Amino acid sequence: MAIEACRYFAHQAWVQGAWAKDVLLEVDASGHWSRVTCDAAQDCARDAVHLAGPLLPGVVNAHSHAFQRAIAGLTEQRAPHGQDNFWSWRERMYAVAQRITPEQLEAIATMLYTELLAGGYTQVCEFHYLHNAGARAPQASALEMSMALVQAAQRSGIGLTLLPTLYMRSGFGADRLRPDQQRFASTPDSIARLVQDVQAATRGMAHVNLGVALHSLRAVTPQALSELAAFADAQGLPIHIHIAEQPQEVQDCIAHTGQRPIEWLLLHTQLHARWNLVHATHATQAELDGVRASGASIVICPSTEANLGDGVFDYGGYCAQGGSWSVGSDSHISRAWNEELRLLEYGQRLTRGQRNVAAQSGASTSSAANMLQALLRSAQTSTARPLGGLQEGQRADCVVLDTTSPALCGLPHAHVLDAHVFSSPGSAPLAVCVGGQWRSHSSQGSVLQDYARTLAHVFS
């Protein structure tokens, strides 16, 4: 969709890994940056729109389960029986997954995507496995469930990389799904058809593209993994997979294959720069070295991993060798990227007994700067879209910060990003732009009302 070419002027903008001053940014008719000029003369910017605060690039949320937004805050009381852990949380999540209709999924996702925009995300990778009919949605089809997410993205204005997800069995050694997992059932052929159907249905829609996901090694067969990966490679699609999130998953993989999950993946697949390994919390240094060498990226989800008791990813060891990584909000306990980065860094500080761990691995002495640059470098890996920041040829996504907020007020310019990440509570952006178009939050009230009504029906 063509847009009107525009020019913007920011007194402070994040360009090529550092704050630049007096930056003139020009957007072409396709919604991409056509020129970014630092230290621009004031007279050159006379006809440009002057932005009201520092300018940051938009950030990719590389891992989302939109329907799980509906249970944020509802799983914080101990399980009635046994140990409360990831697996007990999963039972509660399944119960809600069975109930959601396409209309309800759209309302929940619209609320979530509106929040993600307000949190500075401009693209979301939706790891989507609610394909089939559910208890409250007996007629729901895979295409309807997928298009509910597409419509939510279009309504909110966020970019969407939809990842129809292969889910075939209940665990290593099983040959089928459990009864409460039948809604997720799929095959390589059904996922390939769904990708093609959604591509046809979204042709001409702005900022929507497709990839594929493999739920996990425990949920797919080796042959099916190879078949779907081959389909994705032929189409040039990004590939995402949950892996090594829980110690039990690692133990089960060793028991059934003789290898750890990432070890198995490295030996039996050709990982490359369109692969995204979600979590990888329980990985050895040798496995992380193999991922780094392959060009694949790891998707870290700090708020969800903390909420579920998953453990702490070896960020320092992985990044010291230049490993690629992105961030996701997963179950949406948090919906802002600066909160995810804060928790990521604090987890490292708590386990290592050091400060500014991220500052040890990167060009900057700032932890926040190194983490933000890592997100921008990995954006194309997770989305197959040019989302690498404020530079020519990249999509014109950006966020205007509010320096009148308590978190940022009165700070020296050089520390605005540091405070945006580490001063809590963070500041909400003044404005968010996706593909050269500013997204209005004027409809957020009606979105919230629709969301509240939807939850009342889901939990009735």
Please give the positions annotated as active site.
Answer: 279, 330
pLDDT of residue 443: 66
What is the average per-residue pLDDT within 323-333? 98
What is the biggest distance separating any 2 CA atoms in the chain, rounded to whole angstroms? 70
Would you say 226 and 267 are in contact if contact means Cβ atoms under 8 Å apart?
no
Specify the amino acid at residue 218.
Answer: R
pLDDT of residue 194: 98
User: Which among 394, 363, 364, 388 is positioned nearest to 375, based on CA atoms?
Assistant: 388
Burial 274-299 (b: 16+ CB within 10 A, else e): bbbbbbbbbbeeebbbbbbebebbbb
DSSP codes joined into one string, 114-165: HHHHHTTEEEEEEEE---S-BTTBTT--HHHHHHHHHHHHHHHT-EEEEEEE
Tokens 């405070």 found at: 419
Specify the amino acid at residue 145.
Answer: M
Q: Each residue of 221-235: pLDDT tens digit?
A: 999 999 999 999 999
User: In the predicted model, is pLDDT for residue 102 greater than 90?
Assistant: yes
276, containing H or E segment: strand 275-279
Instruction: Supply the angle between the helices 261-268 and 247-257 in degrees, to the nearest 10.
Output: 50
25, containing H or E segment: strand 18-27
Q: How far apart are CA 186 and CA 427, in angstroms?
A: 42
User: Which among 385, 412, 407, 406 is positioned nearest to 396, based on CA atoms?
Assistant: 385
pLDDT over 90 percentage in the chain: 90
The full set of domains in the chain, from first to last, is: 6-57+396-444 (2.30.40.10), 59-383 (3.20.20.140)
Instruction: Burial-class residue 350 by CB neighbours within 10 Å (0-12, 13-18, 19+).
Output: exposed
What is the average per-residue pLDDT within 175-200? 97
User: In the predicted model, is pLDDT for residue 403 greater than 80?
Assistant: yes
Q: How far apart are CA 89 and CA 100, in angstroms?
A: 18
pLDDT of residue 442: 62
DSSP codes joined into one string, 168-209: --SSTT-SS--GGGGGG---HHHHHHHHHHHHHHTTT-TTEE
Strand partners, 64: 126, 330
With H, G, I as helix, E, B as strand and everything else as coil, classify residue 7.
strand
Q: Each residue of 32-82: pLDDT tens digit?
A: 999 999 999 988 888 999 999 999 999 999 999 999 999 999 999 987 777
Q: How far apart are CA 282 and CA 257, in angstroms?
A: 17
Would you say 324 and 377 are in contact if contact means Cβ atoms under 8 Å apart?
yes
What is the average per-residue pLDDT within 399-403? 96
Q: Each residue of 123-173: pLDDT tens digit?
A: 999 999 999 998 888 888 999 999 999 999 999 999 999 999 999 999 999
User: Which among 140, 146, 187 is positioned nearest to 163, based on CA atoms?
Assistant: 146
Assign 4 a pLDDT band (cuts: 50, 70, 90): low
Would you say 124 and 434 are in contact if contact means Cβ atoms under 8 Å apart?
no
Interacting residues of 22 by C-beta distance below 8 A, sequence separation 6+: 9, 11, 38, 39, 40, 41, 42, 45
Q: Each residue of 296-310: pLDDT tens digit?
A: 999 999 999 999 999
Q: How far is CA 99 from the centre of its chain?
A: 24
Burial 161-184 (b: 16+ CB within 10 A, else e): bbbbbbbbbbebeeeebeeebebb
Instruction: Supply the angle between the helices 285-294 and 261-268 in degrees, to the nearest 10.
Output: 40
User: In the predicted model, is pLDDT for residue 330 greater than 90?
Assistant: yes
Would you say 460 and 453 are in contact if contact means Cβ atoms under 8 Å apart?
no
pLDDT of residue 1: 47
pLDDT of residue 173: 92
